[in-house]
A and B are shown apart, each in its own frame.
Chain A
């Protein structure tokens, strides 16, 4: 589903990703863990081309991200094509980023009507169904500012799901939440994983990674230090760096 080969990325001369390789199979949950500044979020943002990678090859569903290979050359895709491809990848942010001026229902509807050109009533019906799925059907008339962090993040998940994505990216979805609200968001994500969604999750929730992930990748300083089965990686780490990281977060 997602194939990352030798991807590099630098910001103003600082190399944030140093030749990263990663493979995500369909219907699998992959967790990216690591200290802050290790490049986890950057890698995630490269997958839906929110950031342009400098080198290497990135494929989603077999197709190159942001480029097209023709006649032995790489052609940069037009904004329109990039947007079209991006609409098949859902993304959930650390700070929710719900549209503040729209109600909960409109937040979940706008992508469907504006990007996928789905009729308003049909889009609303789908939005209501998804809000019920994340347990927020009673809040459809509220504005984001009137909801708790956990509720906002569940709406954000519903908003991403409304586009019927084939892949979901989560960028530290519970890091901005009060401890007692983390559970409600993780529960929604667990349900989603069970339903067979392909997910890449940047997280500090080791419990979630151990329970739900099929593969865990540990990034440090822009390289993948260790990866594999979560039970093995999280309980019997082989690298010193991962050992010291786990001793701090667990």
Chain B
């Protein structure tokens, strides 16, 4: 506001003194953080120079965070191979988890007590035991079932017979099964939340058109439930990315396993942890971007106008600033 009725007045905005102190404190802290991560410090290794017969010694300057070593291992073949396995574990386990979660959620909402009960028990069991225990269990399943045959139950008729489970069922597969089953339990609750969130009237309308329960689920309920399901699922994917590091406990060399293997040999623990962390952050960033666009797709119809993408927002801001400059130049004559 810069006018009072027809009279132009000067408006003095409120000063937020406390806020400025806060900003100063935070800025100081950030500066210290940048300084300590990016600057070099004197190490215990000394170099000596003799000038005019006087010998002076001082420590060699090195990065506290040993960025040179980080750079050296960042794209090493062991690390990249580990990264690949991490991504593979995350993607496959999540796909299993999502499919299983959807099935269990639908079962849980079934009018049939047995189906609902089985679904509830599954969720109860797999959410109630540590994922580390589950992974270890599957990795050593061969101890319980040395032979597995698939055939007609309670008879000796078998179609597939696995004689040596320990060899045929690799630890990588065991980890995938463990992570996938565990994820299914969590995803089932997320999927159920999504299904419940769809208005009853949508199902009634679908039913009144003559759609079966299956059709209304597939065509009407699930597409609308996705809007609610995606944000927590994004959370789960990112969580899975990091939980997959538990695979290193059963000797699967994913990203974390690979860097701990290297640091066990050269004792450069910190820089190698940084290598792993940066890779985890990069993958998380890519996943977050994917989530944004997925959310935008499933929000269609739910909002009157979809939220702008970051690129659209940048363009709009640029246009806004440009138009501000234009009006400023034209303002002297027009008096807008």
Contact = CB atoms under 8 A, between A and B. Distances in A.
Contacts of B206: 99
A80 B304 CA distance: 36
Contacts of B223: 101
Contact of B201 (A79, A97, A114, A145): A97
A146 interface: yes
A90 B205 CA distance: 10
Contacts of A237: none
A103 to B, nearest CB: 8
Given A101-B302, A146-B304, A93 B202 contact: no
Contacts of B199: 97
Nearest to B223: A101
Nearest to B225: A101
A224 interface: no
A74 interface: no
Contact of A111 (B211, B298, B304): B211
B215 A89 contact: no
Contacts of A127: none
In which size bucket is the chain A interface? Answer: 20 to 34
Contacts of B303: 145
Contacts of A95: 201
Interface of A: 48, 50, 79-80, 83-84, 86-91, 93, 95, 97-103, 110-111, 114-116, 143-146, 156, 159-160, 163
Interface in B180-231: 199, 201-202, 204-213, 215, 219-220, 223-224
Interface residues of B, number: 24
A100 B211 contact: no
A93 B201 contact: yes
B300 interface: yes
Nearest to B302: A100
Among B207, B224, B301, the one with the most A-chain Cβ atoms within 10 Å of its Cβ is B301
24 contacts: A50-B204, A50-B208, A79-B212, A80-B212, A84-B210, A86-B207, A86-B209, A86-B210, A93-B201, A93-B204, A93-B205, A97-B205, A98-B205, A100-B202, A101-B298, A101-B301, A101-B302, A103-B301, A114-B211, A115-B215, A144-B301, A159-B205, A160-B208, A160-B209
Contact of B209 (A87, A144, A145): A87
Nearest to B199: A97
Contacts of B207: 50, 83, 86
B136 to A, nearest CB: 43
B196 to A, nearest CB: 16
Given A93-B205, A101-B300, A163-B210, 9 more contacts: A80-B212, A90-B208, A97-B204, A97-B205, A99-B224, A115-B211, A143-B300, A156-B205, A159-B209
